[in-house]
Amino acid sequence: MEPSRHRVPAAAALLVLVAVAAVVGRCGAQLPIPVRTDGFLYGGKSAAPAWGDAVVVEAFFDPVCPDSRDAWPPLQRAAAHYGARRVAVVVHLFPLPYHSSAFMACRSIHTVHKLNASAVYPLLENFFKYQEGYYNMPTYTKTRAAVVAEIANNLVAPVIGEANLAAYRAGFNDSQSDQATRISFKFGCARGVTGTPYYFVNGIPLSDSGSPMDYNKWISTLDPLVGKM
C-alpha cells in the first residue's frame, strides 16, 4: 500500500504538468503572420529574380550595431559583383534589445518604407554612417521624444525630403510601424537569430554570423553556388 500512495500524487503531478505544457504551448505557438513576408530586397522590386532562379542571401542587421555597419559594404560589393539576377540580397531589420535606440531606428525604416520604398537603403546607410550618435551612452540622458526627433531631422529628412516629414511623423506614430518592427524582431527570433549581423544563404544559417563577413569570404561562399545554377 505504501508505494501506491506515493505513486498517485506523482502521476497526478505529471498529468498536471503535461496539461500545463499543452496549454502554454498552444498560447505561445502562433506568431502573428504579417500580410507580406519580412525583409527589404536590395535593388527593389525591379531587381527581383524569379523564385528559385537566384542564390538568396538574407542578412539580419541592427541599424545602430557597429558590426552590422561594417558588414554591409562587403556584402554590397558582393551583391554588385554577381548582380541581382544571380544573387538576391534581402535585409531584415533586427532590433537588439540592448541597443536602446534600435527599436526606434528599425521603426523609422519601416515608416519610410511605407512612404517611399526606394528610401529604405539610403536611410539604413544613414543610420550606419551616423549611428555613433545613437549609441546607449550618448542618448542615455535624452528623452525618447528627443531621440525620435533627432532621427527625423538628421537622418530621415535628408533622404525623403522636408516636405514628407509630416507624413513620416504620422507614420512613425502609427501602430502599423510599431507592428511591422515587432514582426521583424519576432521573425528573427523564430529563425534563431541571436545577434547581428546574422546571415542565411538559401535559408541555411552561416557559421560566420555574429561578425562582419569580408568580401573574399562572400565570394568563396557564393562562387560554388552561383556557378552551379
Ligand X SMILES: *[C@@H]1O[C@H](CO)[C@@H](O)[C@H](O)[C@H]1NC(C)=O
- Residue numbers of the site for ligand X (CB under 6 A)? 116, 118-119, 122, 159, 169-170, 173
Closest by alpha carbon to 156, among 197, 90, 103, 104? Answer: 104
Q: Which is nearer to ligand X, 106 or 120 (CB)?
A: 120
Q: Which is nearer to ligand X, 53 or 162 (CB)?
A: 162
Q: Which is nearer to ligand X, 118 or 194 (CB)?
A: 118
Q: Which is nearer to ligand X, 81 or 169 (CB)?
A: 169
Give the nearest distance from C-beta 126 to ligand X in angstroms. 10
Give the nearest distance from C-beta 154 to ligand X in angstroms. 15
H runs (alpha helix) in 99-205: 102-115, 120-130, 144-150, 157-160, 165-173, 175-190
Lookup result for grid cell 556557378: 227
Give the nearest distance from C-beta 163 to ligand X in angstroms. 9
What is the distance between the alpha carbons of residues 46 and 126, in angstroms, rounded to a whole number?
23
Q: Which is nearer to ligand X, 158 or 192 (CB)?
A: 158
Give the nearest distance from C-beta 167 to ligand X in angstroms. 9
Element (H, E) at 137: none
Instruction: Find the Cα–Cα–Cα–Cα dihedral 35, 40, 44, 48, rounded to 10°.
Output: -70
Contact 35, 96 (CB under 8 A): no
CA 58 to chain centre: 10
H runs (alpha helix) in the chain: 2-29, 66-82, 102-115, 120-130, 144-150, 157-160, 165-173, 175-190, 215-226
Give the nearest distance from C-beta 211 to ligand X in angstroms. 30
